[in-house]
Structure 1
Amino acid sequence: MRVGSYAVATLAFAFLAGCNGVHLPDPKVSGRDAEFLALAPKAEIPSEFDRYQVDYKTSEPVGSVIVDSRNHFLYFIQPGGKAIRYGVATGKDAMGWSGRATVGAMQEWPRWMPPKDMLERWPHLQPTADAGGLPGGPDNPLGSRALYLFQGGKDSMYRIHGTNEPDKIGQGVSSGCIRMRDIDAIDLYNRVKVGTPVVVI
């Protein structure tokens, strides 16, 4: 499912406007978050993928999420022609996807269960699946937060989530999910709700 060309033009405008963005501070975190974040992998990423408030014009409603897969940015739409822009890692090559979804569920430090297609590609993950998945924590591939994307009322199996590979932010590396730095995933989680519309371009 493809979105209209107007959104692509909007993203091009927003990408240029991001040069004049306002860098935003990290959100406050709980004690559990602080403990896990201290143990999570660290990485320096290019400053363009930090969290900024930028000028952004779109016909999507305030409170929506727009993912620009090509340029590796996620935008949370704010009032007054503004958006919060986060750097993300997106799907590589044929594993990328586009379309519309809604946030159908949300979890903090979620358990990770390797999906069936991943088990077929990487059989060494089978013991993790047999054990009921990997508990939430700093080494978990889903990181600090997960937003479960639904289409037509059903789980699409795609997620917006944190990552235990922050060095991959700004790249096309995932199996289709949208990865964020753990602190950015916490920030976005605090702003969205179940039912939030998501557009992936």
Structure 2
Amino acid sequence: MNRRILIAAMLIAPLAACNSRGPVNVAADDDSAWYIGSMPDKPYDVPLVDKSRLDPKYRRQIVRYGGPEKPGTIVVDIDKRQLALVQEDGTAVQYGVGVGKLGFSWKGEARVGRKGVWPDWSPTTTMVSLNPDLPRTRKGGLDNPLGARALYLYQGNRDILFRIHGTNEPWSIGEQLSSGCVRMLNEDIVDLYERVPVGTTVLIKRNGKYRV
């Protein structure tokens, strides 16, 4: 199966809780037009996205940061579709993200409980109950919905089943399409992955609030 057919199939019948549900409002039929090369990585090279296709506010950049969060904190603003990693000098590294569609996004405080490189994907129990034909696992790779890296969010010792992860759907950055996870360009999640350790605090807010 070629990549274009595979992408179309994924949009119709998503394989992961973090994949888009329903049609995307950006044409995905010319997938190759989004990519301009690759970045060396193991065991796969990371496809690099043509940033001119993104709204400038969703491109990785250093911004001034005046929030109360301490340096080293990850702050996700669902409404703005932006993730900020707070720095020591009053700035933040800001990235564009894709978020869950209305009613699917989680908000609150968590921590990075573990990290994964080209992670495998497995469906949740709920997903299997809704679709018993789902594969029980999918190996990491270029067409895996979790992309090149994943940060697994925990509260205490409990995996809350939400992730910050890469995506093979770059047109979804800045959109509200997923089933809840926070998705980033693969090259951006690789950058964030290298900057944050396990234990990093993650705050995900909507309407300016972290609490339900």
Partner SS state of residue 162, structure 1 = strand
- Per the normalisation by structure 1, the TM-score is 0.77
Which segments of structure 1 move beyond 6 Å, counting only runs of 4 or more?
40-43
Q: Distance in 2 between matches of 1:125 and 1:86?
A: 35
Aligned counterpart in structure 2 of residue 96 of structure 1, from 97, 105, 111: 105
Deviations 1:52-99 (A, max 9, x none): 100011221101000000110000000121001000001111101110
- Bigger helix fraction: 1
* Aligned residue number for residue 204 of structure 2: 200
Question: Does the Cα contact within 8 Å between 1:41 and 1:165 map onto a contact in 2?
Answer: no
Deviation at 1:174, TM superposition (A): 1.2
In the TM superposition, 1:1-201 aligns within 5 A as 30-32=40-42, 35-38=44-47, 44-121=53-130, 123=131, 126=134, 128-129=135-136, 133-201=137-205
Which ranges in structure 2 are unaligned for 5 or more consecutive residues? 1-37, 206-212
Which ranges in structure 1 are unaligned for 5 or more consecutive residues? 1-27
Question: Does the Cα contact within 8 Å between 2:40 and 2:46 map onto a contact in 1?
Answer: no
Question: Does the Cα contact within 8 Å between 2:104 and 2:179 map onto a contact in 1?
Answer: yes
Deviation at 1:45, TM superposition (A): 2.1
Q: Distance in 1 between matches of 2:133 and 2:56?
A: 34
Report percent identity of matched pairs: 40
Deviations 1:100-159 (A, max 9, x none): 0000000100001122333344x2752x11xxx111111000000000000122101000
Partner SS state of residue 45, structure 2 = helix
Q: Distance in 2 between matches of 1:149 and 1:48?
A: 25
Deviation at 1:48, TM superposition (A): 1.7
Q: Distance in 2 between matches of 1:136 and 1:173?
A: 22
Q: Distance in 1 between matches of 2:142 and 2:39?
A: 15
What amino acid is the match of 1:173? Answer: L
Counting matched residue pairs gives 167
Q: Distance in 1 between matches of 2:186 and 2:127?
A: 22
